[in-house]
Amino acid sequence: MEDPVVQDLWGGLLSSSCTEAGDDDSNLLFITLLSELTKLEARLLKYICENAPKSAARSGLILAEHFTVSLDSLTEISGETDIHRLDRELDHLREVGLIHGGFHSDSPNVEAIVAPSAIGLHMYVRCQGLRTSPIDFFGLEIPDTKTTEKEGTQDTAS
């Protein structure tokens, strides 16, 4: 595909597939997912992964919050003005498990409320050419269980 965003994602995924032993097949899942995406979906996924508020759970797993993206922003990001195609592409990203959410039909403004899934964030990191965890990639800190428990105890005592 001639799209530079898609080419960058494929290049990063290829790079992160290289290991010393050469027997790691963990990127196979991401290769399959990326091969199913249109260039519009790849652009949307990249934007959603880069812009969603993220945090680390005490378990060490990554969490992402939903955020709102206007129709104008979606059009600018994707290069697509057809709202029906945008809706289908967001539906497909959700169907393959890379995002949560989509267009919010109850809003007076046309907007999408979206969040990347954990697998979407893992794929994004691998497509950046890295094999690190999303927690490390995004510079997140895992909450200290002991500190959180102490703070919780202090809060209830006051």
Q: Record the tokens describing residue 65, joined without a space.
A: 């919050």
CB 128 within 8 A of CB 12: yes
Distance CA 62, CA 141 (A): 10
**Residue 134: per-residue pLDDT:** 97
Residue the block writes with tokens 């006051």:
158
**Residue 133: per-residue pLDDT:** 95
**Residue 156: per-residue pLDDT:** 45
Distance CA 77, CA 11 (A): 20
**Residue 146: per-residue pLDDT:** 67
Distance CA 68, CA 48 (A): 10
Ranges in the chain, pLDDT < 70: 107, 146-158
**Residue 23: per-residue pLDDT:** 75
Whole-prediction pTM? 0.87
Report H helices in the chain: 4-17, 28-35, 39-51, 71-78, 83-95, 118-126, 134-137, 145-157
Q: Cα–Cα distances in Å, from 95 out to 70, 74, 76, 152?
A: 21, 19, 23, 38
Distance CA 119, CA 106 (A): 28
**Residue 158: per-residue pLDDT:** 37
**Residue 63: per-residue pLDDT:** 96
